[in-house]
Chains A and B, each alone.
Chain A
């Protein structure tokens, strides 16, 4: 068959698009592909946040349980690192893609309306980038506090009677300081806000929208948001009120 110049150009374009790196890059930078990146990384982060919370709630069961759990996590060795790297990749993809989209979306409306009236969206949806960024700042502080012990070296060095890293005492001593507890509580409010839109929005981004399930999807975000907020602040609140006592 005779091939025209235009056709040859098209075929060259197709070949380029079908080259692996070509299409992967094209996909993740497209407006819809970026949505999948946000939703998939967001889903991984939600999964982590829930598991992390359930694990930490063992602080209510006493120091033996919590310290044994911490020792168990440490003992998984390379598996722990697989999870950490996976999380890091998800967080980086989420932040880079989220900030890039926030920037491009600003560019898409260079002149703003003098008057604009919201008809459906809410404040949580509109503040995703802000709530997300504050949460990142908190995550950095949280890692310096409990994971690396930079902000509290004395508490971090504690050992329990079995010679294990005394996570229980470190957490209790941390939360006994009202300012530290307050920063955790505020951060959890922001995570709750972020998830109350994000964990519902995720379904639509992944292409899941069905009249039979939409009312369920619309409740998942607020439910996870409230659950994560209440579950996590229960720990600093219980320490401050004296329900959780030092070892």
Chain B
């Protein structure tokens, strides 16, 4: 098949970028989108041009590296699919495809299609874990957990931190990401002791990173390759409210009067 690509090229964070057009003939419909760019990159390298920089790792839809905005949609037009799992047969012969990096103040462009998503790591560092003292591993079923709770936690835990929610959001908000990372533990007994502190600290870090505020457009849910539901955002809203108005301690230790 024939396609025309308009790809965002930008040497570094400091230099301005622009869309560059590449005409492609002889594209196999069975190629993944990344493979199609691999072939283009080989040709560019052979001509002595700079290949298109893009992030990728697992190429099986679980690492969340392959961020790119394809035709105005994170990871392209197919539902529940990362770029590495998107095949060229999704597009029509002769299609013109625009490819851009994620756009958010909190995700600065490093080069071409690669953005810096460390802001997500800093949010996780604020509470995306359960603090435990080390020791022997517990018996597998020592803590009873209902099937419903396990399923809900697992649904939230499917988040691969790819940033598609931020990319799609008209306000560049990362609430879907934060809500999933809070919910995967809020649903389980192990997550309860730090539940409200975690919600408070992770949301505050989210805001400090310069992500926007969620206004319930639900573009994130539509874009999420793992189908994470916005109901986790509603749950986060409740937990954050409780953490702010009813819980008297956030920094990891409670202080008694006097």
Encoded as 1 (CB less than 8 Å from any A CB) or 0, chain B from 242 to 258 comes to: 00110011111101000
- Asked if A126 is an interface residue, CB under 8 A from chain B, the answer is yes
On chain B, the residues within 8 Å of A206 by CB distance are: 237
A117–B78 Cα distance when bound, in Å, is: 13
Tell whether A23 is near chain B: CB-to-CB under 8 Å: yes
Are A125 and B105 closer than 8 Å at their CB atoms? no
Main DSSP-derived SS at the A contact region = helix
Contact A207 B235 (CB under 8 A): yes
Q: Is the CB of A10 within 8 A of B72?
A: no
The digit string for A123-146, where 1 denotes a CB below 8 A from any CB of B, is 001101000000000000000000
Would you call A109 and B104 a contact (CB within 8 A)?
yes
Select one of B8, B100, B219, B249 contacting A118, CB under 8 A. Answer: B219
Contact A27 B245 (CB under 8 A): yes
Q: Within 8 Å CB of A128, what residues of B?
A: 215
A1-48 at interface with B (beta carbon < 8 Å): 7, 10-11, 13-15, 17-18, 23, 26-27, 30-36
Nearest chain B CB to A11 CB, angstrom units:
6
Hey, which chain B residues are within 8 Å of A105, CB to CB?
Answer: 170-173, 212-213, 215
Query: Using Cβ atoms and an 8 Å threshold, which residues of chain B touch A215?
Result: none
- The complex places the Cα of A211 from the Cα of B204 at a distance, in Å, of 28
Partner of A125 from the list B215, B236, B245 (CB cut-off 8 Å) is B215
Partner of A115, one of B100, B237, B245, B251: B100
Residues of A within 8 A of B248 (CB): 18
Q: Which of B197-249 contact A (CB under 8 A)?
A: 203-204, 206-207, 210-219, 221-223, 230-231, 233-238, 240-241, 244-245, 248-249
Distance in Å: Cβ of A3 to nearest Cβ of chain B = 9
Check A204–B234 contact: CB distance below 8 A: yes
From known contacts A30-B244, A35-B237, infer whether A121 and B219 are also in contact, taking CB-CB under 8 Å: yes
* Cβ B172 vs Cβ A109 within 8 A: yes
- B59 interfacial by beta-carbon distance below 8 Å: no
**A228 CB, nearest partner CB in chain B, Å:** 20
| Interface size in chain B (residues, C-beta < 8 A) | 56
Query: A34's closest neighbor in chain B, by CB?
Result: B213
On whether the beta carbons of B103 and A31 are closer than 8 Å, the reply is: no
Per the bound structure, the CA–CA distance linking A117 and B70 in Å amounts to: 10
Distance in angstroms from A20 CB to nearest chain B CB is 11
Q: Are A109 and B105 touching (Cβ within 8 A)?
A: yes
In the complex, the answer to whether B210 meets A31 with C-beta atoms within 8 Å is no
Return chain A residues, CB-CB under 8 Å to B253. 7, 10-11, 14
1/0 contact trace for A211-244 toward B, CB 8 Å? 1000000000000000000000000000000000
Q: A31-B173, A120-B217 are in contact. List 9 more A-B contacts (CB 8 A).
A: A10-B252, A11-B255, A14-B253, A15-B255, A27-B245, A101-B215, A113-B100, A114-B8, A114-B100
Contacts A/B (CB < 8 Å), 9 sampled = A13-B251, A14-B255, A31-B214, A32-B203, A35-B214, A35-B237, A105-B212, A115-B71, A204-B230
Residues of chain A touching chain B, judged by Cβ–Cβ distance below 8 Å, are 7, 10-11, 13-15, 17-18, 23, 26-27, 30-36, 101, 104-105, 107-121, 125-126, 128, 201, 204-211
* B residues in contact (CB < 8 Å) with A: 6, 8, 19, 69, 71-73, 77, 98, 100, 103-106, 168, 170-173, 175, 203-204, 206-207, 210-219, 221-223, 230-231, 233-238, 240-241, 244-245, 248-253, 255
